[in-house]
Amino acid sequence: MRIHYHTFGCKANQYDTERMRQELEARGAATVEGPGDAEVVVVNTCTVTNQADADARRLIRRLRRDHPSAQVVVAGCSAALKADDYRGMGVDGVVEGHDPVAVAGAALAGASTSALVQLSDRRTLDRLDTEPVGAELLRRRRGATRGWLKIQDGCDRKCAFCATRLARGASRSRAVDEVVAEARVLARTHPELVLTGVHIGHYGLDLGDRATTLGTLLGRLLEAVPDTRFRLGSIEATEIDDRLLDLMAGSGGRVAPHLHMPLQSGADPVLRRMRRWHTREQYRTRALEIAERLPVLGLGADVITGFPGETDDDHRSTADLVDELPFTYLHVFPFSPRDDTVAAQLQKEMPVPQRVAGERSRDLRERVAAKGARYRAGRAGQEAEVVLEDGGRALTGDYLRVTVAEGARGEHGSALRRGRLHSNGDDLYIDLFDPVTAHPAHAS
């Protein structure tokens, strides 16, 4: 059986696809790069916006038109919320969630009644808590230098704009020993592992042991999996406790000096309507405390512009915060309503014109682009530890993609490499040190 996979959305979804691939390959299936060579196409959907749903439907229609002999199996967050819509498109299987065993069954059977995971039953972490530790752990992220290490799933928050929690269910944490075991396996081929999930800051809260937190898990990983760099996935500013910050500051770079802390807005009235649980000042204070401890820091955030009721003053408040804090990049999105969320109703009551939301997005992007350029320029002449990627590129701990100097390139490897950063106009390149002599690798 030849299978092609198409993944929409976040790192958690990408991890889930690798679980699906591994499950199917264990049953004799082969992965192919394009849908034209596939007997089955697995589409792992996202539901973060209505547009994400629309993108999945568009892909399915194109697959049906261009590759009519291929069976199509739909899974993921959008399938969890809109299963009947996908069944109505005539696909061959719908799995209402991310269960790799259910996806394998649907893909191999080609059954149209493959809805094996029900939303009301989602109390496990995609069966991971019931699978044996060892052979069933994820072994690698195919074709990538960096590995994703999913530590939890689901979310207990109720942000007004988010439907992901409806699709993923309540927060569930994997056992520490299981995470460590999987990290050891992944570290054989991935020099960097990214701790990911839907709400990783809530790791451990459901395990019944107050001593088990994200900080204690990260400490265990650092002890148990040497010679590997760990990076935190998206995490709320107010959930970065002193234990986590101490590990980042004292790990010698083994915890990447990079944080992606969702902001969404820098105006308290908007944050309240979003049903966020932090204030502008709480975010600002913690960000400045973190920056003081980590002089080298890649700092990113998500921001939504044009949220219902956002005024010009609200936008200025957000822009002022972006100017003040040491962001090196932002993911900025004009507001897009999601069905069945509180924000969709707010959009009917107090809409912000799409043109205005777009202008505000451009303003923030321009501001952070200038900040990011200054940060990159300031890193020239300094050392950095990188993972090597394809195409002569590398990724630093503080989340800068840089060019590898000519003469020091090669295929991406399974080890971290150190070198010195140099400016090349608007870009940075790294002159790698020899692994043994600590001299530049291209030196004669």
- Model pLDDT, residue 79: 95
What digits encode the pLDDT tens for the residues 423-438?
988 889 999 997 754 4
Instruction: List the structure tokens of 269.
Output: 């009235």
205-225 core/surface letters (b: 16 or more CB in 10 A; e: else): bebeeeebbbbbbbbbbbebb
Who contacts 11 (Cβ-Cβ below 8 Å, separation ≥6)? 148, 194, 196, 233
Residue with the larger pLDDT of the pair 266 and 165:
266
Q: What is the pLDDT of residue 165?
A: 82
Q: Do domains 257-379 and 380-432 have the same CATH topology?
A: no
Domain 257-379 - what CATH class?
A: alpha beta
Q: What is the pLDDT of residues 389-422, one digit of tens each?
A: 988 999 999 999 999 987 655 555 568 999 999 9
Question: How large is the average pLDDT for residues 270-281?
Answer: 97
d(CA 265, CA 166): 22
Number of alpha carbons in the 13 Å side-chain half-sphere of residue 423: 11
Q: Taking a C-beta distance cutoff of 8 angstroms, is the pair 73, 103 a contact?
A: yes
Q: How far is CA 265 from CA 197, 311, 332, 360, in A?
A: 22, 12, 10, 12
Q: Residue 440: is its pLDDT beyond 70? A: no
User: Position of tokens 């935190």?
Assistant: 232
CATH architecture entry for 2-121: 3-Layer(aba) Sandwich (3.40)
Instruction: Measure CA 343 to chain center.
Output: 23
Rounded CA separation 97/44 (Å): 9
Residue 210's pLDDT is what?
Answer: 84
Fold classified for 122-256: Transcription Regulator spoIIAA (3.30.750)
Could you tell me whether strands 427-432 and 401-404 are parallel, antiparallel, or unpaired per DSSP bridges? parallel
Q: Who's near 5: CB < 8 A, 6+ residues apart?
A: 17, 20, 21, 31, 41, 42, 44
pLDDT at 127: 55
pLDDT at 424: 85
SS3 258: strand
Tokens 């999945």 belong to residue: 56
Whether residue 443 has pLDDT greater than 50: no
φ, ψ dihedrals at 235, nearest 5°: -150, 140
Taking residues 92-98, report their average pLDDT: 93
pLDDT in the model for residue 91: 94
> pLDDT category, 122, cuts 50, 70, 90?
very low
Percent of the chain with pLDDT over 70: 90
**Closest to 27 in 3D by CA, of 101, 96, 94:** 101
Contacting residues for 84 by C-beta, under 8 A, at least 6 apart: none
Whether 29 has a pLDDT exceeding 70, the answer reads: yes
433, containing H or E segment: none
Given the candidates 1.10.287, 1.20.1440, 2.20.28, 2.40.50, the CATH classification of the domain at 380-432 is 2.40.50
Q: Domain segments of the chain: what residues? A: 2-121, 122-256, 257-379, 380-432
Q: What is the DSSP letter of 178?
A: H
**Count of CB atoms situated within 10 Å of the CB of 373:** 12
The per-residue pLDDT for range 42-70, each reduced to its tens digit, is 999 999 888 899 999 999 999 999 999 99
pLDDT digits (tens, 9 = 90+) for 151-197: 999 999 999 999 888 889 899 999 999 999 999 999 999 999 999 99
pLDDT digits (tens, 9 = 90+) for 283-326: 999 999 999 999 999 999 999 999 999 999 999 999 999 999 99
pLDDT at 439 over 50: no
- pLDDT averaged over the chain? 90
**pLDDT of amino acid 128:** 57
pLDDT, residue 432, reads: 94
pLDDT, one tens digit per residue, over 129-160 is 554 444 468 999 998 999 999 999 999 999 99
Global confidence as pTM: 0.90
E strands within 8-153? 30-31, 40-45, 71-76, 93-94, 146-150, 152-153
The residues with which 42 forms a beta bridge, in sequence order, are 5, 73
Give the model's pLDDT for residue 118.
Answer: 36
Q: Residue type at 432?
A: L
- According to the model, what pLDDT value does residue 166 have? 83
